[in-house]
Structure 1
Amino acid sequence: MTGLHLAWAELRRWLRGSPIRPAALIALALIPTLYGCVYLWSNWDPYGRVDEVPAALVNEDRPVAVNGRTLDAGTRLRAELFKRHDLKWSAVRADGAAEGLKNGDFLVTLTIPRDFSADLASVSGSSPRQARLTFRLDNAHGYIVSKLTEAAVGELRAAVDSAAFTQYAKAALTQQAQAQAQAKGATGSALQQAVAAQQSAIDAQAAAIGRGVKIDTVTHHPARVYGRGLAPFFFSIALWVFGLVVYEIVRPLNLRALSARTRPWAVAIGGWAPAALIGVVGAVVLYVVADAGLGLGAEHLWATLGLLALAAAAFTAVGQVCRALWGVAGALVMLVLLMFQLVSCGGLYPIQTEPAPFRAIHPFCPMTYLVNGLRVTLTGGRTSELWRDVAVLACLLAAFWIIAAAVAAVQRTWSAKRLRPALHA
């Protein structure tokens, strides 16, 4: 029998009998398309959706009177920012912005200080000061936010110029030049000629002042390096993949114990505990290697190890149920779940920049809560959010324990379908 005959015989085995078999082949053939296209769709143009990133604008500026005119630079800049839609701006008070940045309601904040107009107006005086703005973000909500908002800072500089600050500086400097010429006795056409002679220098200086508004960027809980910011995402993938592959070796349920009328919950725990123990050890080794080899350096070491252990146990429980319910097809189910979590857990780009379907399933992804929790334990953040993530993962573990026990109870009864499954290795 040739190799081609053997290949055809294997294909016929999958094409005959239960319709589940050809459906499984079709599902396998679609895996590359699902992975490639879904992931590509998710990352197609995240920078083009930065206008969905929630941002707080705090305007504390006080208008000032200059040469008989009122300069309200803060209000002018606020109007320009809302018109440009570079970020999803909300005008709030300082305390609301600070609280929103802590709890993730806002990913960035911009503060216009109370002396912003006064500093801009100082260009016409003897002691000019540089106007400043303060841009804040928090890496506890994702390191990539800082990269996404770098473009926003550039747009902010453009907004400062568009808000007519350069034109104001030009007018102020022109008035200053006129005053200097008048002090020297120039009048009429002589005055105009004196000012015109300085016009190119005035234009250049005004443009420099408009561009010279300094933007201070303050990062809370900085990840410092790219890899440290992405560690929560890749750690989550690693533990989910473990839950997928461990039951290729470990039995999800002990069939002999089921036949011996052992209690279902005991059978479920007996199939979960060995795999979970291996997973916990693997999670600890994962952190130790990343820390020793790459200098990961968690802000909260024991919380990181505890969260990794809990996630390993929970993801293992999910893998146990999938394998016990669907056999070898359970691995395919875990793989598909991983695919959708990769684009919906917010591990790379802020979830606000993802397409609507991925934003909708974001709260239902187990990896979402491990990613969020690890951001807090690795780089710092609010412990209340960490406890929420721990509670969700603990509930996930308990729920799948219960489901595994129910599956064990059902599988006490044998059927012809179970004795000869449509899909088997």
Structure 2
Amino acid sequence: MASLNVIREASCAEGFCSLGCIAWLYRKIRGSFFLIVGSHTCQYFMQSALSVMIFSEPRFATAIIEESDLAAKTADFAHLELDRIVGDIVREYDPTIVFLVGTCPAEIIKVDLQNIGEMLTQKYARPVMFAPVSGLEHTFTQGEDGVLQALLAISPEEAPGAPRELLLVGAVGDLVEDEILEQLAELGIPVRGVLPARDPRRLPAIGPNTVAVALQPYLSMTLNALKRRGAEVLSCRTPLGPAATRQFYETICRAFGKEPPADLATLEAEAWERIGPEREILIGKRIAVVGDNLLELPIANLLCEMGAEIVELSTPYFNRKAMAADVACLPEGLTLYEKPDVIAQAERVIALKPDLTICGLGLANPFESRGLPTKWSIEFTFTPIHGFKHAKDLAEIIARPVRRGRLMAQRGWYVDRPAAARATS
């Protein structure tokens, strides 16, 4: 394993709320409805972040906790109000599953959504599941972890004597999921299913003959829950980029007693050939990876494999055990900042003057104003980037701002700020 120097600055999280995961999960889990139990702030965030979807009747809503609710008997009041709201949802949408999404306000005032969900499940004859998606200690991608735990709670038990099969854990686009399943079929790997399943009525069974592998690096709580159900959890690299994807499939093959075929090396070589132009742009570039979606380590690995130098690396949350396979491939002696102090980090990056900074939206404009090219880390969350076929898309996202800066300079469109002004800003 790489010698990684971890510095935990323990600053406040600088990123989107965990409710952001609903943006991709309500479409991924068909027939679902997400009822957010939170404040006006929760509602404003969802409306502003996902307003483009409002006119398509998105299957999520907010049950707002008012100040007057705090004076009521919280348990009785919440049960009655949520009973009424869930009843309206069932009549209008007829969902196959309803998620009661716990938020910071609901957690602070101790609304027992777990117990309420169990009672409403019996009344409405469909799962009404508590999904802990509080943003108090989590970044926005980790909200998915809470939803998957809720699904895991209603997944069936594995039948006695069930064959040993693979479970894919983590939400990716349907196209990416189909490509991964197709590749696993070609490798002869028996697959039990995917969590989250597209149809929540057909969740995969879990038990001792389940071999789970994560498609995303931010699902540590779900993986721990799978272990408690007796499943085996593989330590694999996140399949982002040609080399990581090959190693991902090789680890799975070995877990099922199969020798990885030479075809995987061929697929890797073809993927590297496709991203040759982007590799030429990024080779030798100094890059700061200070994103907010927990994809920072696998992206840093890809950049190093493409010949770039990582000058600053941080992540909102670091689980050494869950991310062990990605950590093992990082360069020796690299420093990782966990929950970085945003001011101190901004000062470090400005002083380093990297060729590209991958960061959250909150830091992008300050860096751009100082002549530092940036790439929004949120783009990696909403773009298909997993596997061999999408390595080109991933490399293009990273290389685009560097290519744009080069073209602007060639055409005389880019005017750099004076060094003195940059130093005093």
Relative to the length of structure 1, the TM-score reads 0.26
More helix by share: 1
From the CA coordinates, give the structure whose radius of gyration is larger.
1
More strand by share: 2
